[in-house]
Structures are given as structure tokens and as C-alpha cells.
């Protein structure tokens, strides 16, 4: 190749089915700047790259390169890359490279920022020279056979690290004090190793940390209170499968942004701290298999976003709190093998025996038939009320009745004054942001700041200074010359001012005034969501300078769960059901943690009740509304089903390959029924590689496609609702976790 094309600078052939070995002529590719060969079926060894002086990026991930031999020379080519003095990114993950990392890896370009080595057969210690790569931001070496007690102490000197993954290796020793030097670190995963000792208090210096996973090690001692001071933790804290003792620190209340807490399978004692109820962002709490005692604190009533709550295999007692019935996001409540007593709840979300598990609590009774508990003794001793108590109760009841009547009259009077709350809300916001400040923040709404154009306006990226701190924002400017733009502005204000959920785009403020020409000006100001729209990830525009990004299977599944969670919130959990009416990849944004946020409520409608519908005439939203169907929650679920199919097939709803009445829904459905194309021809080719490599079971893909089809049935009454979808998708996520269970369990340890 390099012989025929000596001036070739960019060779980009990812996501194909290319086979064979890499051409030896790569050794002569002196002009090569980018070499992208990922996700193919290449085998054999990697030739010398000694002549590639200008190389910036090398990506050979997800092939079958290397022999996997412990004493082989699979990684010898890394030593030849020391001549590439401009190298910025090196990705060799998910291959079969064996042997030790060469010492010369420390002589790679000082400009290198990304080094990805995960899921190979690499063994031995991490070379000390690696700490010379002072600008390295991403180091992923998980899923190998790395060992050595000094491996982690080297990492502590690499202060530019933002993401560090060494999980699923054989690394022993202690978590070094120098870990506190990594104050830029966002993600730290050291799970499934053989680490001893405790968590150093220096961890408190990792002020940017969003995810910490130290699970499946031999760590011991108490959980340091300093760890609970990391208010930046949002993605997760996982200390499970260790030997921690003592109590859960009451300082856990500081973790108000934390989404997932896993302290299971330790030896933690004492009671569950009441302060845990202040962690209002929690969606998953796993405290099972400890020595916890006492009752469930009533303060946990505030954890209304909880999906999974596992307290099984402890010594907890008392009655099951009634507030669990009102946790509408709850998908699983496991209270098995404790000492709970009394009647099991059957109202609200607990009117489903799949959600609650109570086996092994001998003093429980009642509940749903599926729980197989004995009936409760309904005989209770009757107590006669004294005359004083009767008078007291009568007086209080009368007062409550009077208050209720007065409140009703007040509400009626306020409603009769007219619905002015949108305008007043806009006026309140208007005092906080001006046209001038937004004009300055976006460089005069310049085209270089333009990041999107929609039906009713344009979106600009901007930077504002608040209390001396620069904050990036997204400004949606409405084109008021467009019919319906003003109404869209008012609709978004009305919808977004009263809802708040981690999977909805967050509105910061609004601007309603005039521009420098005296024309009316209306804009919404949002938090800037750094990774852009789901559309750009599913259907990227290829560019040599900016190679397309792709989502892996588990990322797509998590995004689907995020979207379903947002729909469940607006459909079922707010004061008034809201129909989005325009759910599509363009209106789903991904943040830096790849968490999805649903946005653009300009076409949204309020319903008085979940079963209500209204006309969709004039609505130019997603497919079903475009066909004139009624606006309903079921319409949103149709859009979600099509979106889910698009995410896992990589095909648009009306793909150019479809003809003769075929659309995405029936294309997938006929394949599932075995009457059309095989599943291998339906799935996104990018995901097919994960299935062929055995990392994802085909059954999981089929189950997700079935959910998409069931959401987009022609009959609205037959479609799944958002709660059912959440349950099914979370079940698939749990099965995937079992499929990729920790190495130690696989070894039988």
C-alpha cells in the first residue's frame, strides 16, 4: 500500500469486514498521518511503524491481531512508534495481543493524550517509563492480565489523567497515596484486581471525580469520611465485594449528585444513616450482604428517583415503610433475608409481585398472592375512645374542613384571574438575562457559534461569566417571523418551568425583549450538552479531520433507558401528563458521561389525564403525528419504539433501502418472525462485531428489538407504556451485567 501510494496521509477503512494480515508495506508509510483500521477482521502481527514520523493517530481496535502468547512479541511494534514524535492517540483495544508492554512505551511522544490497550492478553507490570507521558489524559488498560504491586504507584505521577481504567487485571498491592495527585481525574476504575489495605484519605484531593469503582478487591478497614466529601461524584460509587467494616459514614449526605451507590457484599454494620435520604439523585442503591441492622429510615422517602433498592441479606427489622408505594420509578425492591415484620404493602408501584422480593422474612404476612406469604391476622383489639378524644377529633376535623373550603375558594379565585403564569415567569427570568448579554456570549450570534437549526429557530453555543466562572451555554433563538415560533417559545416555557429530571435538558433562564434593531427577541438558555445530539452519533458525517464516533451496545442500551426514564417522568410522574410530540434523535442530547437528555418541548402538549388525547392537526412532529394521528402518550411511545429500532439497526425510519410499503417497524418485525432478512442483516454492522466477538449475546439484541416493535404497533392500545419499557430495558441491562460477570466469580473464587 505505502509502496503504491507513498504520499498517502490518511487511510480510513473502519467498520468493514476486511480480512487478512496488515501489509508489510506499512513500514514505509512515512507520510501517514492517520491510520484507522478499527472494527475489521485483520489477523496476524502489526508490522514495524518506524518510518511513520508524521503519525498522529493509530487505531487498530476490534480486530483479531496478535497471538495471545505470554512470551510472544505481539507488542514489539509499540517500540517502533517512538519515532512518531507527533503521536496523539494510540488505540489497540479488543484484539489478541499478548506479552509484556515494552519499556520503550515510556519513550512515545510526549504529545500523546490517548492510550487505549483494553481487552487483550497483555501481562506483566506497567513499565515505569509510562509516567514520562506527562500529557496523557486517557489510559484504558482494563481486561488484561497486568500484575505487579508497583503498577499503581507509577500512575499516581501522571497528573494529566482524566480517565483511568485498570479494572479486570491481576494487580496487587495498595491504592497509593499519590492517587491524590490526580486532581483532573473524572473516572477511576480499579475493580476486579487483588488490591489490599484501605482507601487512602488522599482520595479527597480528586475533586473532579465522577465515577469511582474499587469493587471486587481485598480492600478493608472503614470507609473514610473524606471519600464522602467528593461532591463531584455523580456517575457512581462502587465499593462492593470487599471487606469494609464499620458503619456507612453519615457524611454520605454530601453526595447529592450521586446516581448509583453500591456498598454490597462487605461487613458494614450499624444502621442505615438517615442522611442517605439527602442523596436525592440516587437511582440505584445496593447495600445487600452486609451486617446492617435497625429499621429503614423514613428519610429515604425523598429518594423518589430510585429504580433499584437492594437491602437483602442483612439484619434489618421493623415494618416495610409505606413510602415505597409512591416511588414511581422503582423497578426492584429486594428486602429478602432480613427480619422485617408486619403486612407487606400492595398499593402503588408495589402492586406488582415482580418489583418486590421479601423471601426469608418469617414474620411478614399478606401481600400479593405471588409472594406466597401467610395471611395477616385481621383481629385487632378494639379500643374505646374517651369523651375528650372524641371532642378533640371532632374539633380538628371541623378546622380541616374549613381550611379545605377556604383553599378551594382561593384557588378558584386565582384561576378566574386568567392564566398569566407563563408571562410572569418569563418576566422573572427576563430580569436575569438580557439580549445584550446573550449577544456578547455568542459573539453576536455568529455562524461560528451556530450549532443547530430547527423548525422555529437556531441554537448557538455561548460562554457567560457568572461569579468569575465561565460557563458554556446553549442559546435557542426563536425566529419570530416563522408562524408558530412564538407559541413554541411559550409552550417550552410552560413545560420546562415545572419539570426537572436528570434525563431532561435543563433550562437555565429565558430572554424576552428586543434586539438592537428594535425587533422582538425571544430565546431560551440551556445548559450546554457537550457530546451533541444522538443523531450525530447514529448517523455521523464522515470526515478525515474529525473521524465519526460510534456508540457501543451497552451505551445504546443506557441511552434507551435514559430516554424511557424521561418519558416515564413526563407521562406519569408530574402533576399533569405531558406529551413530547417530537421525540427523535435530533432532540436527544448526550452529555460528557454519555447520559441522554431529552429536549425541544416546543411541540409538547399537556393532557388532563394519561388516557386523554387531542388533535394533532398542525403538529409537524415525529412520524405518527405527521400522519395526523391524535396526540397521546401512546403517540410518544410509537416515536420511542421507532427511535429504539433506529438506535440498534442504524437505519432511519424511512431508509432508502426500503420499498413496496416496507418501513423500519415491519422490516424488523418480519426479521424477528423469521420471515424476512436474518437478524445479522438487520442489526447495525457496528454492533454485529460485538456479537460476533461474543461480548454481547444475540438474545439481548432480539429482546430490545422486540421492545421497539411492541412500542410501535399500529394499534395504540397494544403498545407498551413507558413503565413497562423501563422494566424490560433494565432487565436486559441486568442480564448483560450477569453475562459479563466479574473475573473472580468466573474463576470460582
- Catalytic residue, from 118, 582, 600, 636: name it: 582
Q: How many CB atoms lie within 10 A of CB 668?
A: 27
Contact 29, 53 (CB under 8 A): no
Helix ranges (DSSP H) in 497-542 = 534-538
Q: What CA dihedral angle connects 559, 560, 565 and 567, to 10 degrees?
A: 120
Was 322 annotated as part of a binding site?
no
With a CB cutoff of 8 Å and minimum separation 6, the contacts of 309 are 285, 303, 324, 327, 330, 332, 333, 334
| Cα–Cα distance for residue pair 688/695, rounded to 1 Å | 10
Residues near 351 by Cβ (< 8 Å), separated by ≥ 6? 368
Angle at 77 between CA 72 and CA 78, to 5 degrees: 105
Kindly report the backbone phi and psi dihedral angles of residue 11, in degrees, each rounded to the nearest multiple of 5, phi listed first.
Answer: -125, 115
Contact between residue 45 and residue 51 where contact means Cβ atoms under 8 Å apart: no
What are all long-range contacts of 282-285, with beta carbons under 8 Å and residues at least 24 apart? 282/258, 282/306, 283/259, 283/307, 283/308, 283/329, 283/502, 284/259, 284/260, 284/308, 285/260, 285/261, 285/309, 285/310
Distance CA 648, CA 44 (A): 31
The Cα 124–Cα 289 span in angstroms is: 34
CA distance 329 to 304: 7
- Whole-number Å distance between alpha carbons of 572 and 330: 13
Active-site residue flag, 582: yes
Which helix (H) or strand (E) segment is 429 a member of? helix 421-430
Binding-site residue set for ATP: 476
Binding-site residue set: 476
Name the residues annotated as catalytic: 582
Amino acid at each position: 500500500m505505502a509502496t503504491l501510494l507513498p504520499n498517502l496521509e490518511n487511510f480510513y477503512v473502519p467498520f468493514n469486514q476486511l480480512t487478512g494480515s496488515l501489509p508489510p508495506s506499512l513500514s514505509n508509510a512515512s507520510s501517514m498521518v492517520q491510520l484507522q483500521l478499527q472494527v475489521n477482521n485483520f489477523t496476524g502481527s502489526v508490522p514495524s511503524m518506524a518510518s511513520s514520523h508524521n503519525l498522529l493517530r493509530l487505531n487498530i481496535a476490534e480486530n483479531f491481531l496478535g497471538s495471545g502468547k505470554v512470551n510472544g512479541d505481539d507488542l514489539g511494534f509499540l517500540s517502533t512508534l517512538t519515532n512518531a514524535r507527533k503521536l496523539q492517540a494510540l488505540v489497540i483495544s479488543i484484539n489478541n495481543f499478548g506479552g509484556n508492554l515494552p519499556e520503550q512505551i515510556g519513550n512515545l511522544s510526549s504529545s500523546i493524550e490517548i492510550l487505549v490497550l483494553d481487552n487483550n492478553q497483555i501481562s506483566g507490570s506497567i513499565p515505569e517509563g509510562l509516567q514520562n507521558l506527562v500529557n496523557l489524559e486517557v489510559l484504558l488498560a482494563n481486561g488484561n492480565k497486568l500484575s505487579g504491586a508497583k503498577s499503581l504507584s507509577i500512575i499516581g505521577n501522571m497528573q494529566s489523567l482524566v480517565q483511568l481504567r485498570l479494572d479486570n487485571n491481576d494487580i496487587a498491592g495498595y491504592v497509593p497515596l499519590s492517587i491524590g495527585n490526580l486532581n483532573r481525574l473524572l473516572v477511576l476504575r480499579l475493580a476486579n484486581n487483588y488490591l489490599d489495605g484501605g482507601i487512602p484519605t488522599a482520595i479527597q484531593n480528586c475533586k473532579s471525580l465522577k465515577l469511582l469503582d474499587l469493587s471486587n478487591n481485598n480492600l478493608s478497614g472503614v470507609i473514610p469520611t473524606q471519600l464522602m466529601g467528593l461532591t463531584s461524584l455523580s456517575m457512581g460509587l462502587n465499593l462492593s465485594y470487599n471487606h469494609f467494616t464499620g458503619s456507612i459514614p453519615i457524611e454520605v449526605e454530601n453526595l447529592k449528585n450521586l446516581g448509583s451507590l453500591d456498598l454490597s457484599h462487605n461487613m458494614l454494620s450499624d444502621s442505615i444513616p438517615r442522611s442517605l435520604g439527602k442523596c436525592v439523585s440516587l437511582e440505584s442503591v445496593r447495600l445487600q450482604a452486609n451486617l446492617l441492622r435497625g429499621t429503614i429510615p423514613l428519610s429515604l422517602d425523598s429518594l423518589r428517583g430510585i429504580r433499584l433498592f437492594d437491602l437483602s441479606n442483612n439484619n434489618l427489622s421493623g415494618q416495610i415503610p409505606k413510602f415505597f408505594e409512591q416511588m414511581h420509578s422503582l423497578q426492584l425492591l429486594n428486602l429478602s433475608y432480613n427480619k422485617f415484620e408486619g403486612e407487606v404493602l400492595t398499593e402503588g408501584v408495589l402492586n406488582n409481585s415482580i418489583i418486590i422480593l421479601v423471601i426469608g422474612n418469617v414474620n411478614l404476612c399478606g401481600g400479593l398472592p405471588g409472594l406466597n406469604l401467610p395471611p395477616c391476622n385481621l383481629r385487632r383489639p378494639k379500643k374505646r375512645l374517651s369523651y375528650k378524644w372524641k371532642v378533640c377529633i371532632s374539633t380538628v376535623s371541623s378546622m380541616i374542613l374549613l381550611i379545605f373550603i377556604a383553599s378551594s375558594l382561593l384557588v378558584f379565585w386565582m384561576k378566574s384571574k386568567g392564566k398569566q403564569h407563563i408571562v410572569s415567569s418569563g418576566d422573572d427570568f427576563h430580569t436575569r438575562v438580557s439580549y445584550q448579554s446573550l449577544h456578547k456570549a455568542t459573539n453576536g450570534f455568529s455562524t461560528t457559534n451556530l450549532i443547530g437549526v430547527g423548525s422555529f429557530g437556531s441554537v448557538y453555543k455561548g460562554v457567560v461569566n457568572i461569579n468569575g466562572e465561565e460557563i458554556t451555554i446553549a442559546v435557542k433563538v426563536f425566529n419570530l417571523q416563522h408562524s408558530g415560533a412564538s407559541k413554541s417559545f411559550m409552550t417550552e416555557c410552560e413545560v420546562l418551568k415545572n419539570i426537572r429530571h436528570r434525563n431532561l435538558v435543563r433550562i437555565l433562564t429565558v430572554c424576552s425583549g428586543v434586539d438592537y434593531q428594535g425587533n422582538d427577541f425571544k430565546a431560551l438558555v440551556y445548559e450546554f450538552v457537550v457530546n451533541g445530539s444522538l443523531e450525530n452519533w447514529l448517523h455521523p458525517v464522515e470526515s478525515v479531520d474529525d473521524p465519526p464516533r460510534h456508540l457501543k451496545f451497552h451505551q445504546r442500551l443506557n441511552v434507551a433507558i435514559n430516554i424511557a426514564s424521561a418519558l416515564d417522568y413526563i407521562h406519569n410522574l408530574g402533576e399533569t401528563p405531558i406529551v413530547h410530540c417530537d421525540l427523535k434523535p435530533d432532540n436527544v442530547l448526550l452529555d460528557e458521561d454519555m447520559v441522554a437528555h431529552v429536549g425541544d418541548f416546543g411541540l409538547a402538549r399537556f393532557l388532563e389525564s394519561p388516557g386523554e388525547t387531542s388533535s394533532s392537526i398542525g403538529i409537524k412532529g415525529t412520524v405518527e403525528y405527521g400522519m395526523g394521528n391524535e396526540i397521546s402518550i401512546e403517540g410518544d411511545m410509537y416515536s420511542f419504539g421507532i427511535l429504539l429500532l433506529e438506535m440498534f439497526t442504524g437505519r432511519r425510519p424511512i431508509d432508502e433501502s426500503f420499498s413496496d410499503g416496507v418501513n423500519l417497524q415491519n422490516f424488523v418485525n418480519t426479521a424477528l418472525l423469521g420471515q424476512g432478512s436474518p437478524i445479522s442483516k438487520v442489526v447495525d454492522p457496528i454492533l454485529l462485531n460485538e456479537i460476533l466477538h461474543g461480548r454481547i449475546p444475540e438474545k439481548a439484541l432480539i429482546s430490545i428489538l422486540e421492545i421497539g416493535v411492541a412500542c410501535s404497533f399500529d394499534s395504540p392500545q397494544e403498545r407498551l407504556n413507558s413503565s413497562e419499557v423501563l422494566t424490560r430495558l433494565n432487565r436486559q441491562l441486568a442480564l448483560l451485567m450477569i453475562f459479563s460477570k466479574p473475573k473472580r466469580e468466573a474463576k470460582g473464587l
